[in-house]
Structure 1
Amino acid sequence: MVEIFEQHDDIRTFFAELLLPVPIPRLFTYRVPRVFQESIRTGQRAIVPFGERKVVTGVITAIHEQAPREYEAKYILELLDTFPVVSDVQLRLFHWIASYYLCTAGEVLNAALPSGLKLSSESMVQLHPAFSFEETPYSFTEKEALLLRTLAGESMDYTAIATLLGVKNPYNVLKSLAAKEAIILFEELKEKYRPKTDRRIRLTTAYTTAKPLEDLFQTLATKPLQEAVLLRYLQLVHVMQDPGSNAAGLSRKILTDDPELSDSSIKTLVKHHIFEEFDVIVSRFPDEDIHDTPVIPLSPLQQQAHQDILKSFTTHDYTLLHGVTGSGKTEIYINLIRQALEGGSQVLYLLPEIALTTQIVHRLKKVFGTTMGVYHSRFSDAERVEVWNGVLSGRFKFVVGVRSSVLLPFDNLGLVIVDEEHDSSYKQQEPAPRYHARDVAMMMAHMHHAKVLLGSATPSVESYYQAQQGKYGLVTLDKRYGDAQLPQVVLADIGLERRQKTLKGDFTGLLLRKIDETLQQQEQVIIFQNRRGYSPMVNCEDCGWVPKCVNCAVSLTYHQYRHALVCHYCGYKENLPQQCPSCTSARLKTVGYGTEKLEEELNLHFPNAQVQRMDLDTTRSRTGYETIIDAFERGETNILVGTQMVTKGLDFDRVSLVGIFHADRMIHFPDFRSYERAFQLITQVSGRAGRRDKRGTVIVQTSDPEHPLLQLILRHDYRGFYEVQLADRQQHHYPPFSRLIEITLKHADKRVCRQAAETLAESCRTNLPSVYILGPGEPAISKIRNQFLMNILIKVPRAAPNLAQIKSTLLSLTESLTQQKEFRSTRVILDADPM
């Protein structure tokens, strides 16, 4: 910590405005110590006291000489950077996100900065310097005495103390010991990020010339193990031919991993100053040379689309590329990225899910090598910090990443590509900021004067509407790459097969026959079912009892591999009972199919096939996606069963059949976007079939084959789907004709929650006469984690000129509500553009 100096009259006093990662809608003013006045800059991180005991990391947003009037400014404790790590453009973007998505800039900063860049304080405990067992007048309990004896040699944090004492909360013990003046509490600052280092070894300078080296070998002649280490080092590091190579040395791990060498011999050579050890900072991302991988030449149609995009960029900042599945959009992206990088600009390539990055990253690495960084949530904190710093330093000119990549510190952005722009994964749900990465990327690009390319085979209705209105450019690719054809979509009528008694479980005879034919031809199958677990529900055949979550208003899903009933909302888990707790009947049965049950049934129907499942349960580990996709790509897996993960951007040569297990559930979901999502999901997963020289087949199992949406899917008719949806949305004031703001109220008491929702809805109707207000009403899931929910939906006409004022009024109304005594414990969540 820095020493704080007294200020003299002839020295100017500076203050800094800091943005702190806390959910408070304001900046905080701190005094700048004299020692930092020459080095302080906006965009640097600083450690500051916050509250009575807490210490946090904030970002400096302004420096001035105006002292705050409301409070005495505390001093900045430490500057963490010699140069800014957050740019002015980023700070502007953070404030825009906070304003548009109805949260605080501090919450945006908290989401943006990797945890490794946020220093935190942790309460620590140590013995009081004046404490002595012999002299203290106090007596101690067994737990207190145990803690005091342990503290005699070290300080400890709360967690370690709780473990030592075998209690959940050691507060009472600590309070008692503090009152007896036996301990003191203090804050220890912990920096989370540590650079990765490599322990290296080299010859000391005394042995880097010929004569001393010869003498050394004579000395070691009777010590063969040490001589072997020296010989291996000289084989790998050519000290005589290239004297400078010894300075870089050799990774110690190379020698210790050699089974013919002795680790103790290495230690002895170091001890006798023949070798010396040193550490070097290394990247967690190994340098990969750009391979001489030829870029696939663009087809005439792709070349035309490429030229049309460049032409569109001359008149539009945003362009939508509507290319059918398998049309070769990625090759067009690669050419555009290459051009932008050659022009000296940075590029951001957004993907909706980590599953997508597995295949695409390998492909792009071969082309762009070390200039490319990858950023997603499965990375460790340290890896995320390295990517952040790599963008700052210019090491990574090009980043491939998921939603959070839009918050990286770009300073010369020229191109943003948002692949699968329609995907709902781009929307952050919990916690705040509840931003949409596509829309934030467009604002960020506007601030950088960059261009944005949105790509999708099934564009969102909102994006396609903007393109039709001329606000975005529009480029269309309506044919697949090469000679590939769009798949044939066939509807399997569940009702008809049930009447004909050809159903086997929930599998239609048509789907099973097609799977068998595909396997006979040594080709692969993807089965899509948007429900994980073994069975969505368990019930008693005698009394109808269904196990429900104790915390949420949902039934529990049965997971056979855990042999447990699990809530997918709060994680509550209980064992499957042997008999019905309501009537004691043993006739409990599972109802419906999850991916786990599908996997089991397919193994029974096709015992010689290798079946693999890809859902949240099988991809929890960091390499889960990659392992499953690699096995499928190599042909080791014949049938891949999965949730939405299998619909997104995966490209496999040998997939000729896709089965949609149950389309009706997607279509009839109670949401105005259900038709859009069903069309997108079915079309996207269908696109995995027949992507080379053989036309693929898609079997859609449905109880309603005449449904208009399925008929549009049969014809691959996006334009027809769009026109139907647009007319419906215009009639009912939904996007793109309105902007939506959803208000969710939560409270442990259902009555209080409803009362608060009714009060807020009435306030909105009184103060916001120009908007449409629906509700309040209970959502489909009306209780989660012991909190009852109520929703209010606000529709703001797209042409409304006062959107910012409407949002400001909403914030004021919610604040007024929670200041009322009876509603103080009500949580109110505002979500702009909910999905």
Structure 2
Amino acid sequence: MTPELEFQVPIDDVPERVTLFADVILPLPLPKLYTYRIPYEMNDEVLVGARVLVQFGSKRVLSCVVARIHEQPPAEYQAKYLLEVIDEKPVVTEPQLKLFMWMADYYLCTLGEVINAALPSALKLSSESKIQLHPNFREETNEWPLSGHEMAILYGLKQKPHLTFTEVGHLLQLTSFHKIIKSLLLKEIIIIFEEIAEKYAPKVVKKIRLSPAFTTDEATLEELFNQLAAKPKQLDVLLKYIQLVPLLQDLSLNEAGLEKNLITSNPHLSLSAINTLIKNGVLEQFDTVVSRFPMLERGPYVMPELSTAQAAARDSVLEYFGEKDTVLLHGITGSGKTEIYIDLIQKAVEAGGQVLYLLPEIALTAQIVTRLKRVFGDRLGVYHSKFSDNERVEVWNGILSGRFQVVIGVRSSVFLPFHGLSLIIVDEEHEPSYKQHEPAPRYNAREVALIMAQYHGAKTLLGSATPSIESYYHSLSGRWGLVTLSERFGEATLPQIELVDVRQEGLKKNMLSHFSQKLVHAIEDTLHKKEQVILFQNRRGYAPFIDCNECAWIPKCRNCAVSLSYHKFSNELRCHYCGYTERKPNDCPACGSTMLKTVGFGTEKIEDELKLLLPQARIQRMDLDTTKKKNSHQQIIEDFENLRTDVLVGTQMVTKGLDFEHVSLVGILSADSIIHFPDFRAHERAFQLFVQVSGRAGRKGKAGKVLIQTANPNQPIFQKVMENDYMGLYEQEIAERQKFRYPPFVRIIQLTIKHPEARPAENAAIALAKALTDRLGPKSVLGPEAPHIFKIRNQFLQEIHIKLDRDSGNLKLIKQQIQEAVFQLVQNKEFKNTRVVIDVDPA
């Protein structure tokens, strides 16, 4: 909060002019806050949490967030004046600022990196920001008086579709012109955007209404009917309009008009008659800008009555909330956790609080939003990366204004400006998708949510059918509350899980490409019963790679130490790490042979082969390649829900929390690749994936079946999956982690050293490991070593892992020592091109 300032009044009663300074957070990776002097006339305008414009360096103009206001000038440099106040009210709340500072400290990054990730780009202005005419602006109807400078900008935008801030400065011959920009924004003459690709266009709806000349009284309207009596097609249009807009009851309803497509889409009305009425001035057409998040009407929705088990679980959660801030809800798949969430959200909203509902994947939001908007209507906001930047700003402002009491979103939602947050729900809390990898801050939204709740005085509910080992440990140790829901909702039972030994099936000639006959027959039987199938393959694309039968040549990425994956639809080879692509060759570049074959299989190949095996089946694929467009997730899910799709083939997207009534068969095609992975969490993740995808089968009284194809059915993990034995997995994992020093018994910090050349990367890593060992001791520092994929985006990699016991003392001091060692390394001329990435709690 802004500190209270004591103003001393001299004897002559003339107030002393107090010089104030503002510490600001610039959206740059700077280790410290930067201080600016506040002009006297702005003393009362600058607020903590509001944005201001400043000059940084000789030419750059940036917007930044005020973190602190005080009277102490910086000792190291002469403070420049800040240029302009952007916001009359803060856009970042006090709890947000505290959270951002915690994130910078905990995840060993800068506050600028946090604020850069937190704010939608439309809230970040710079000298390279661009302006364009507001799409709704009409010069002939503009009622605002314009100054000479404003007219000059308007003229400039007639010559060019957009101007950068730098170009505006040259046009006006001014160094400070931001008040003029602000004035045009308030008059809705211009809008600001960052990139042409993100160019803002408000949602515009074409409407029609009766010309005001015909709505003065009922007599005038009756005269219009008489005039159109001989023109039945035009009369039909007028009658339809009056049916939809009841003017005879209230003539003032005409002002709002009617969406034009409600008339033009009617097959019984003549389009030419509509256009004639507009041309003759009987109807007038106009555009209106509407919110992308229109006010939603609640209902029709009846809150489901919780089962006895659900109600008991809900009551236990509330009881724990009386004494603990965090509760873990361990509910098996299909147990009805979502109904418990909705019940708790409704209680929080009725008490006047705000709620954040976190999901790990955008794909899940479509189903959940449909259910929640029936309950909470226009009080529900949605926030994820598929939204345009301007849609994200609209949600941001809606939370600040109090319009949205409930927000559902993915990990970036932890940055939103809540002011009355009382409950956070983290669904599928075990999911690695909650971890941000690039760029900084490399945060885990689950952990951030816990701190966020602490700063807001809110409660946190973590939910999962397969909780992370760390979360379950914290619950059993008494740090968090633990509530278990061990029966499925309604009459549903857990699915029957069966292993298919593909090695034996191959010897018996029972494999049809990558499908066992048992799986194909099960799919055919399921479709015959008018039920649906989900097939899970944890790899996208057509094939992991291609190779030459003659010389064994395999195409490699130019930038990374990986083979290129083949994507048949686009007929290209693609790197899944850097995005590099090239056309698939017709012959081998090494030996000239045309004997090139694909090796392995991904979701695209599964879809392709399934269409040949089952030509009558309607098959869709859900992976990163098919869900790039904004609403593609929602469309695929809607098609499957509405039985327009028989078989859904997908990657991990299909495993997480989706609820489909008619799915009775799930097939897991390549289980072994998930188990054999060089990661201490490999068995935990495999169990979670198998159980989660299995849980999609058998809902609402229908018995489900799961077929897992494996070359090694004797793997112990399969027995635990078949018995849904989470406790068996937990006990095995926790014993191994204690023995070999892994979380939750230690904290891990991973340092990745990057350099364009291999030897300097190795030398820098050795030097850094020695510096860290000198500070932390040999027990805590492991490595360096090159990772399995040792080159990505033309950078050679080395890794160092630091393990810190939970009781290792002052964690903040240890992290400072790590930062000092890294800083000294990159300052060394020998390692000048070296970059070190610090990842706290790597996933």
- Write the letter of the residue equivalent to 2:192: E
- Write the letter of the residue equivalent to 2:337: K
1:470-508 per-residue CA deviation (whole Å, 9 max, x = no partner) reads: 101000011111221111111111222223232222322
Contact in 1 for aligned 2:83/2:176 (Cα 8 Å): no
Cα 1:413/1:241, change in 2 over 3 Å: same
DSSP 3-state at the match of 2:685 = helix
DSSP 3-state at the match of 1:539 = strand
- Tell me, yes or no, if structure 1 residue 93 matches structure 2 residue 99: yes
Q: Distance in 2 between matches of 1:681 and 1:399?
A: 27
TM-score by length of 1: 0.87
Cα 1:596/1:186, change in 2 over 3 Å: farther
The Cα shift of 1:201 comes to 7.3
Contact in 1 for aligned 2:211/2:281 (Cα 8 Å): no
For 1:642-681, what aligned pairs fall within 5 Å after superposition?
642-681=650-689
- Tell me, yes or no, if structure 1 residue 288 matches structure 2 residue 296: yes
The Cα shift of 1:103 comes to 0.8
Q: Which residue is 2:39 aligned to? A: 33
1:686-740 per-residue CA deviation (whole Å, 9 max, x = no partner) reads: 0011122232111111111111111211211000001111111111111001111
- Write the letter of the residue equivalent to 2:60: K
DSSP 3-state at the match of 1:416 = strand
- Tell me, yes or no, if structure 1 residue 340 matches structure 2 residue 352: no
Cα 1:221/1:328, change in 2 over 3 Å: closer
Cα 1:269/1:501, change in 2 over 3 Å: closer
Moved more, 451-460 or 305-314: 305-314
> RMSD over aligned Cα, in angstroms?
3.3
- Write the letter of the residue equivalent to 1:343: A
DSSP 3-state at the match of 2:488 = coil
Q: Which residue is 1:24 aligned to? A: 30
Q: Which residue is 1:74 aligned to? A: 80
Contact in 2 for aligned 1:559/1:566 (Cα 8 Å): yes
Q: Distance in 1 between matches of 2:829 and 2:15?
A: 49
Q: Which residue is 2:328 aligned to? A: 320
Q: Which residue is 1:107 aligned to? A: 113
Q: Which residue is 2:443 aligned to? A: 435
- Write the letter of the residue equivalent to 1:673: R
Q: Distance in 2 between matches of 1:624 and 1:45?
A: 35
Q: Which residue is 2:369 aligned to? A: 361
The Cα shift of 1:24 comes to 0.7
The Cα shift of 1:261 comes to 5.3
Contact in 2 for aligned 1:210/1:240 (Cα 8 Å): no
Cα 1:55/1:156, change in 2 over 3 Å: farther
Q: Which residue is 2:458 aligned to? A: 450
Q: Distance in 2 between matches of 1:22 and 1:818?
A: 18
Q: Distance in 2 between matches of 1:12 and 1:254?
A: 61
DSSP 3-state at the match of 2:801 = strand
- Tell me, yes or no, if structure 1 residue 120 matches structure 2 residue 126: yes
DSSP 3-state at the match of 1:384 = helix
- Tell me, yes or no, if structure 1 residue 467 matches structure 2 residue 480: no
Q: Distance in 1 between matches of 2:710 and 2:362?
A: 30
- Write the letter of the residue equivalent to 1:81: D
Give unmatched runs, 5+ long, in structure 2. Answer: 1-13, 132-155, 182-190, 194-199
For 1:660-809, what aligned pairs fall within 5 Å after superposition?
660-769=668-777, 772-809=780-817
Contact in 2 for aligned 1:208/1:240 (Cα 8 Å): no
- Write the letter of the residue equivalent to 2:711: S
Q: Distance in 2 between matches of 1:284 and 1:97?
A: 31
Q: Distance in 2 between matches of 1:749 and 1:304?
A: 60
1:555-608 per-residue CA deviation (whole Å, 9 max, x = no partner) reads: 011111111111111111112212211222221111111111111121222222
- Write the letter of the residue equivalent to 1:387: V
Q: Which residue is 1:575 aligned to? A: 583
Contact in 2 for aligned 1:255/1:261 (Cα 8 Å): no
Q: Which residue is 1:816 aligned to? A: 824
What is the aligned counterpart of 2:217 among 210, 222, 225?
A: 210
Q: Distance in 1 between matches of 2:228 and 2:501?
A: 84
Contact in 1 for aligned 2:126/2:165 (Cα 8 Å): no
Q: Distance in 1 between matches of 2:359 and 2:498?
A: 30
The Cα shift of 1:633 comes to 1.4
Q: Distance in 1 between matches of 2:248 and 2:691?
A: 65
Contact in 1 for aligned 2:533/2:664 (Cα 8 Å): yes
DSSP 3-state at the match of 2:802 = strand
Identity %: 52
Q: Distance in 2 between matches of 1:756 and 1:309?
A: 50
Q: Which residue is 1:144 aligned to? A: none
- Write the letter of the residue equivalent to 1:43: G
Cα 1:733/1:212, change in 2 over 3 Å: same
- Write the letter of the residue equivalent to 1:491: L
Q: Which residue is 2:152 aligned to? A: none
Cα 1:187/1:680, change in 2 over 3 Å: farther
Cα 1:302/1:584, change in 2 over 3 Å: same
DSSP 3-state at the match of 2:825 = helix
- Write the letter of the residue equivalent to 2:68: A
What is the aligned counterpart of 2:61 among 52, 55, 63?
A: 55
Q: Distance in 1 between matches of 2:612 and 2:226?
A: 71
DSSP 3-state at the match of 1:97 = helix
Q: Distance in 1 between matches of 2:441 and 2:99?
A: 12
What is the aligned counterpart of 2:541 among 533, 536, 554?
A: 533
1:152-206 per-residue CA deviation (whole Å, 9 max, x = no partner) reads: 9946989999xxxxxxxxxxxx9xxx9xxxx999999772367656677778988
The Cα shift of 1:10 comes to 5.0
- Write the letter of the residue equivalent to 1:334: I
Q: Distance in 2 between matches of 1:398 and 1:426?
A: 20
Contact in 2 for aligned 1:200/1:252 (Cα 8 Å): yes
For 1:148-547, what aligned pairs fall within 5 Å after superposition?
154=159, 191-192=192-193, 209-210=216-217, 213=220, 241-242=249-250, 244-245=252-253, 248=256, 259-260=271-272, 266=278, 269=281, 282-547=290-555
Q: Count residues in correspondence.
A: 782
- The structure 1 segments of at least 4 consecutive aligned residues displaced by more than 3 Å after TM superposition are 151-161, 183-190, 193-258, 260-270, 274-277, 279-282
Cα 1:509/1:241, change in 2 over 3 Å: closer
Q: Which residue is 1:132 aligned to? A: none
Cα 1:474/1:605, change in 2 over 3 Å: same
Q: Which residue is 2:151 aligned to? A: none
Moved more, 361-370 or 455-464: 361-370
DSSP 3-state at the match of 1:191 = strand
Contact in 1 for aligned 2:298/2:376 (Cα 8 Å): yes
Q: Distance in 1 between matches of 2:264 and 2:59?
A: 46
Moved more, 436-445 or 78-87: 78-87
Give unmatched runs, 5+ long, in structure 1. Answer: 1-7, 126-150, 162-173
- Write the letter of the residue equivalent to 2:397: N
Cα 1:223/1:25, change in 2 over 3 Å: farther
Q: Which residue is 1:83 aligned to? A: 89
The Cα shift of 1:295 comes to 1.2
TM-score by length of 2: 0.86
Contact in 1 for aligned 2:157/2:163 (Cα 8 Å): no
- Write the letter of the residue equivalent to 1:572: Y
Q: Distance in 2 between matches of 1:687 and 1:107?
A: 39
The Cα shift of 1:262 comes to 5.5
Q: Distance in 2 between matches of 1:228 and 1:119?
A: 52
DSSP 3-state at the match of 1:120 = coil
Q: Distance in 1 between matches of 2:176 and 2:549?
A: 61
Contact in 2 for aligned 1:376/1:405 (Cα 8 Å): yes
- Write the letter of the residue equivalent to 1:811: Q
- Write the letter of the residue equivalent to 1:34: Y
Cα 1:241/1:764, change in 2 over 3 Å: same
